[in-house]
């Protein structure tokens, strides 16, 4: 078994995991999702993921009628049944099934889904040598802090990166760097770390949260403030954070070499500290 699925609280075979054609997640992208990492049987900030899901639900007027506690216990049950020590857990909640109309329907039950797969870590050479990125205009809506399933702009950006032979696409609104297609962005200049503030223009990633704590623990100077494309290109170090990305060094952006063209000391320290953190966090 390489994939385990629970749909609306019931375990189902992969081939039989089906939703209705008028599910609002399918028709409108009217739903939320989370991706949770499990390391050696331990959940990495599961509680933080659940907090973000509940907050997102409040912001889009989505009632989690099945109960957050039920979701939490089903996630734990699914991971245990999967037998995977290292797993990725995809959780999606939509507003449910109703005749298609823009206004939210009444008395409709949510559709909720859990997919558990064995986690496949990024190649070690990515962390040792760094990867490349490109920049693309940020064409998403302005509520990026809500983790909705409306990801077409992100997918287009990721495809552009793929076609360019790059690992990731970094978004910019005008001249300001926001985040990337599936990760948050940090730069280092003269020993100071910069990242876009957690407002409506970025998703406040759980890995981002963990790395901010590591930055503080190391007494690195941190500024959560907008920075420009010019500052990105002039940075001494650039790195990404994300659930499956972890802490990823970027050594070239739009063909321009970053710093010395190798992962920097601060980035490598954060990679080391993050890996230690994954061995201890279980919540």
Are β-strands 3-7 and 10-12 bridged in parallel, bridged antiparallel, or unpaired? antiparallel
> Catalytic: 147?
yes
Q: Which of 42, 55, 109, 147 is catalytic?
A: 147
Count of C-beta atoms within a 10 Å radius of residue 78: 20
Count of C-beta atoms within a 10 Å radius of residue 221: 11
DSSP secondary structure, 111-134, as one string? EEEEEEEE--PPPHHHHHH-EEEE
Alpha-carbon dihedral sign for residues 125, 130, 134, 135? positive
Separation between Cα atoms, residue 205 and residue 188, nearest integer Å: 19
Distance of CA 205 to the CA centre of its chain: 6
Which residues are the active-site residues? 147
């Amino acid at each position: 078994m390489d994939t385990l699925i629970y749909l609306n609280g019931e375990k189902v075979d992969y081939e039989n995991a089906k939703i209705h054609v008028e599910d609002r997640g399918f028709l409108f992208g009217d739903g939320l999702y989370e991706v949770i990492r499990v390391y050696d049987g331990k959940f990495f900030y599961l509680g933080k993921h659940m907090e973000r899901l509940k907050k997102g639900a409040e912001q889009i007027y989505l009632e989690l009628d099945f109960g957050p506690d039920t979701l939490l216990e089903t996630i734990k049950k699914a991971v245990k049944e999967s037998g995977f020590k290292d797993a990725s857990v995809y959780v999606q909640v939509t507003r449910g099934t109703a005749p298609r109309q823009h206004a939210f329907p009444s008395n409709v039950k949510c559709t909720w889904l859990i997919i558990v797969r064995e986690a496949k870590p990024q190649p070690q050479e990515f962390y040792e040598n760094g990867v490349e990125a490109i920049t693309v205009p940020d064409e998403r809506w302005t509520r990026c802090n809500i983790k909705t399933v409306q990801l077409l702009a992100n997918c287009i950006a990721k495809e552009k990166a793929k076609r360019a032979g790059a690992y990731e696409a970094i978004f910019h609104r005008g001249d300001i760097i926001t985040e990337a297609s599936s990760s948050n962005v940090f730069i280092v200049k003269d020993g100071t770390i910069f990242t876009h503030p957690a407002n409506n223009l970025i998703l406040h990633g759980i890995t981002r949260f963990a790395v901010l704590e590591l930055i503080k623990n190391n007494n690195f100077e941190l500024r959560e403030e907008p920075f420009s494309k010019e500052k990105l290109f002039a940075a001494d170090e650039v790195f990404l954070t994300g659930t499956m990305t972890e802490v990823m060094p970027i050594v070239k952006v739009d063909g321009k070499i970053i710093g010395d063209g190798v992962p920097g000391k601060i980035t490598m320290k954060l990679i080391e500290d993050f890996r230690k953190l994954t061995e201890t966090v279980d919540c």
